[in-house]
Amino acid sequence: MNKKFMSVLCLMSFLLFVAITKADENTLPPVSGDDTQLSSLGKVFVRKFRLEGNTAFSEKDFAPILSPFENREITAEELQEVKNKITRFYIDNGYITSGAVIPDQKMEDGMITMKIIEGRLTQINVSGNKRLRSGYVKKRAELAAGNKPLNINTLQDQLKLIKQDPHIDTVNANLSPGLKPGESQLDIEIEELRPYHLSMRFNNHNSPNIGAYRGEFELSHNNLTGLGDSLTAQYDITEGLDDYSIEYSIPFTRRDTTLTLKTDRADAIVVAEPFDKLNIESRTKTYSAAVRHPFFKNLAREISAEIKLEKRDSEIKFTDKGAAFSEGVPDYNQENSGQTTVSVLRVSQEWVERGMAQVIAVRSTFSFGLDLFNPTINDTGPDGRFFTWLGQFQWLRRFDFLNSQTLFRTDFRYSDKPLLPVEKFSIGGAMTVRGYRENQITTDNGWASSLEWRVPIMKVKFPWLSKAQTDGELQLCPFFDYGSGWNTDNPDPSPKDIYSIGLGARWAVNKDIRAEIYWGKSLKSVEGSDEHDIQDDGIHFQISADIF
């Protein structure tokens, strides 16, 4: 009997070891107890099993395992089988450091108590970090464990999320036994990404009225104090525009609830003929504070919300006097001539779904113009009190056919009343309807959609720059764009609809240097400008480079 029992016990131990080894080479074996005394009982009548210590599963979850052994006599070997099946159930569901123990006990009314030891992560050690604080990584790893039983699948997913963190390049982790039964220790070794970045872009994505050709320079430090905070400075310049912005962002919870503070100043002068002789100048200052919180986040899905308070001051001067070029802006003979102020509360919700072949992103933004910080208030016409809704949808799908991708995006804006110029919806240009000038149509309400098919056609390697196998990919991109704008309680522009078809080319010299050019054929005629620009020919381009 003892030989048979020991053979069964050895076989079960071997099977358990193999299962654990397959689950994860760095995981602990399930906790087991010494309950061999039960074999001396021979057969016992079991009316019911009572479980203690189980929090990951309810007794109802174990019913299919336990019920075949209840209300009948069972042998010591069957008792071991029940215990092993419970342990196996935990292991199969990812709780590889959890298991069942049947302690020696006095039988009462056919009731056997089975103790569940649910393994927990009790210690996390972080190494390899130089600037990033250990607590930043540790707190995020604790999301997979905390005060709940350790699940290897949840832990692995959380480590992958940590790997996607913009401050971290690589993550290596090892799970080992702790000091007590059921306890585990996690050792995480990371390699940080370079925290500072400099990028430059050159494009023609600005209105020709202030200079279409724009240079953009962005310098950022993504780990300023070791808390994962970032500081970004950006400067954009055209012939008639100087735009400066500074942004500071810091996550203040382990779930990446983030506070962002930003200030922006844009000084512009009209340079397009014949208006350049009128000395039309504008100055816009923007201050904002935002809090963003991801309510749900895993490798495939993220649901988040953001609340932002924004104040924007704008001033337009005409021959050194304030001027009203739009309804709602005080004229030169009024107080605060040419000046407008809006204080806006923006509440956004975002949903992103990622799959093997597609990415879907949906964003909704409600904007409320507040009577706060002395906004522009008018008896009639547009002012700082308004409500708008902006809905945005984007879908990127990868196809096996020609290894191509399809990109569809659409934006829809609704406003309950006429808006000041700083809040209007713009249509036309590289980001909305190609083939037309930037900001061809500006209205209170609008809709812009684009469908683009990206097809890789060849590799064009650039000497000394295109080194990796994936470098140098050239894509052809046929597209169709459509946009429509209309006003609230005011006449609509003419035309109110514009649309185009065209072809683009995108070239990835390497992972840091990219270039693109698009040509769009406008399918709806619009009034031309006295001064010609390549945007009038439907040409939009951009060259971007990440210097370091």
pLDDT digits (tens, 9 = 90+) for 512-532: 999 999 999 999 999 888 789
- 107 vs 22, residue with greater confidence: 107
Q: What is the pLDDT of residues 165-203, one digit of tens each?
A: 999 999 999 999 988 888 999 999 999 999 999 999 999
Give the amino acid at 378: N
Question: Each residue of 513-522: b (16+ CB within 10 Å) or e?
Answer: bbbbbbbbeb
pLDDT at site 28: 36
273 pLDDT more than 90:
no
Contact 299, 161 (CB under 8 A): yes
Q: Whose CA is closest to 178, among 27, 32, 24?
A: 27
**Same-fold call for 2-117 versus 120-192:** yes
Q: How far apart are CA 328 and CA 420, in angstroms?
A: 6
Instruction: State both tokens at 175.
Output: 């799970």
36 pLDDT more than 80:
no
Residue 38 confidence class, pLDDT cut points 50, 70, 90: low
15 pLDDT more than 90:
no
pTM to 2 decimal places = 0.86
3-state class (DSSP) for residue 20: helix
Give the amino acid at 56: A
Q: Whose CA is closest to 359, among 404, 410, 391, 405?
A: 405
pLDDT at site 419: 96
pLDDT at site 328: 62
Contact 190, 137 (CB under 8 A): yes
34 pLDDT more than 60:
no
pLDDT mean over 271-286: 89
Q: Whose CA is closest to 314, among 264, 388, 271, 276?
A: 264
Which position has the token pair 């123990």?
Answer: 101
pLDDT at site 243: 98
Write out the H or E segment, with its range, that includes residue 22.
helix 2-23
Residue 435 confidence class, pLDDT cut points 50, 70, 90: very high
Q: How far apart are CA 385 and CA 533, in angstroms?
A: 37
Q: What is the pLDDT of residues 132-141, one digit of tens each?
A: 999 999 999 9
Q: How far apart are CA 548 and CA 130, in angstroms?
A: 19
CATH of domain 120-192: 3.10.20.310
35 pLDDT more than 80:
no
Q: Whose CA is closest to 547, among 282, 261, 291, 220?
A: 220
Q: Whose CA is closest to 125, among 188, 62, 35?
A: 188
Question: For residue 500, how many C-alpha atoms fall within 13 Å in the half-sphere facing its CB?
Answer: 30
Determine phi and psi for 124, rounding to 5 degrees.
-130, 125
Contact 154, 144 (CB under 8 A): yes
Q: Whose CA is closest to 482, among 500, 502, 494, 504?
A: 500
Contact 153, 175 (CB under 8 A): no
Instruction: State both tokens at 198.
Output: 């400099």
Contact 156, 175 (CB under 8 A): no
CATH superfamily of the 2-117 domain? membrane protein fhac (3.10.20.310)
pLDDT mean over 272-282: 86
Q: Whose CA is closest to 301, among 359, 251, 369, 340?
A: 359
Q: How far apart are CA 18 and CA 249, in angstroms?
A: 47
First to last CA, the chain: 72
pLDDT mean over 526-543: 93
Contact 412, 390 (CB under 8 A): yes
Instruction: State both tokens at 388.
Output: 């708008």
Task: Show me where the domains of the chain are located.
Answer: 2-117, 120-192, 424-548
pLDDT at site 88: 97
3-state class (DSSP) for residue 536: helix
Question: Each residue of 406-427: b (16+ CB within 10 Å) or e?
Answer: ebebebbbebebbbbbbbbbbb
3-state class (DSSP) for residue 95: coil
What mean pLDDT is reported for the chain? Answer: 90
pLDDT at site 439: 96
